[in-house]
């Protein structure tokens, strides 16, 4: 697998001028094709990302993280890429962890590889840690497989598999939506440990609005699985490998 030609890095952004240039530069040292989706930023996110070497697509207004990701995934697939590596634009994900995702995908049949911060969560704010564990337990029970870090946005995804799944979330529930869609269709999901990075950045998750959206998504997801006749324990789990590879 020539990851440098087969994998695009998709980075959704909203007002990330402070970090995006450094993020793009560090990622391009490992994977050269970086696609930044500017979700209606009011700062210089687009300009700085482009200067750093990224291709930039811009929403004229903020449509949500999920909408930005799906714009990026569609564009990557139409451009001929087979895989998309998703990262956040605020510097919370380390480009040094990229080879672990690629190595895992090469050595397993996983079509979705997710970063796992919960193996060593020190450094993650206590509230986020607790909420993540609670949500991961709920989604694991619904999916029927162990999903230790359901909310991590650092992921490697097979685009042909994704395009055949009913993934529709437009906001922060996108991480949950993708996991459940892959699990419900019995697609193998894997997890790799990643570095936990939290600085002084402020979360863009709105405590009330996005919580309501997630519970609405949860309710709809349960109804969908019931209508499809898909009971729990329908997914497959690929367990983490300790080794790390390099980008070919």
Q: What are phi and psi for residue 218, nearest 5 degrees?
A: -60, -45
3-class DSSP state of 167: coil
Percent of the chain's residues with pLDDT above 90: 54
Q: What CATH number was assigned to the domain covering residues 3-238?
A: 3.90.550.10
3-class DSSP state of 238: strand
Distances (CA, A) of 222 to 139, 168, 181, 199, 228: 10, 15, 12, 35, 10
Residue linked to tokens 């990224």: 54
| Residue 96 pLDDT class (50, 70, 90 cuts) | very high
- HSE at residue 122, side-chain half, CA atoms within 13 A, is 1
Tell me what the mean pLDDT of segment 15-21 comes to. Answer: 95
Q: Are 155 and 181 in contact (CB under 8 A)?
A: no
User: So what's the pLDDT on residue 248?
Assistant: 34
Q: Are 14 and 172 in contact (CB under 8 A)?
A: no
pTM, entire model: 0.81
Per the model's pLDDT, the better-predicted residue between 237 and 96 turns out to be 96
């Amino acid at each position: 697998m020539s990851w440098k030609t087969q994998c695009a890095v998709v980075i959704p952004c909203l007002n990330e001028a402070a970090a995006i240039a450094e993020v793009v530069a560090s990622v391009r040292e490992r994977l050269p094709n970086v696609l930044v989706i500017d979700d209606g930023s009011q700062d210089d996110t687009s300009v700085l990302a482009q200067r750093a070497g990224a291709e930039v697509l811009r929403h004229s207004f903020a449509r949500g993280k999920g909408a930005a990701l799906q714009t990026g995934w569609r564009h990557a697939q139409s451009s001929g890429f087979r895989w998309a590596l998703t990262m956040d634009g605020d510097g919370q994900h380390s480009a040094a962890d990229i080879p672990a995702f690629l190595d895992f995908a090469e050595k397993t049949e996983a079509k979705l590889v997710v970063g796992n911060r919960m193996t060593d969560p020190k450094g993650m704010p206590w509230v986020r840690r607790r909420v993540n564990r609670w949500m991961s337990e709920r989604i694991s029970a619904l999916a029927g497989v162990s999903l230790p870090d359901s909310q991590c946005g650092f992921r490697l995804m097979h685009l042909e598999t994704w395009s055949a799944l009913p993934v529709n979330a437009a906001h922060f529930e996108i991480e949950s939506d993708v996991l459940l869609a892959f699990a419900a269709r019995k697609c193998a999901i894997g997890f790799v440990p990643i570095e936990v990075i939290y600085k002084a950045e402020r979360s863009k998750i709105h405590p009330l609005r996005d919580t309501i959206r997630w519970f609405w998504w949860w309710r709809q997801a349960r109804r969908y699985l019931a209508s499809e006749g898909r009971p729990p324990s329908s997914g497959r789990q690929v367990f983490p490998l300790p080794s790390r590879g390099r980008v070919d």
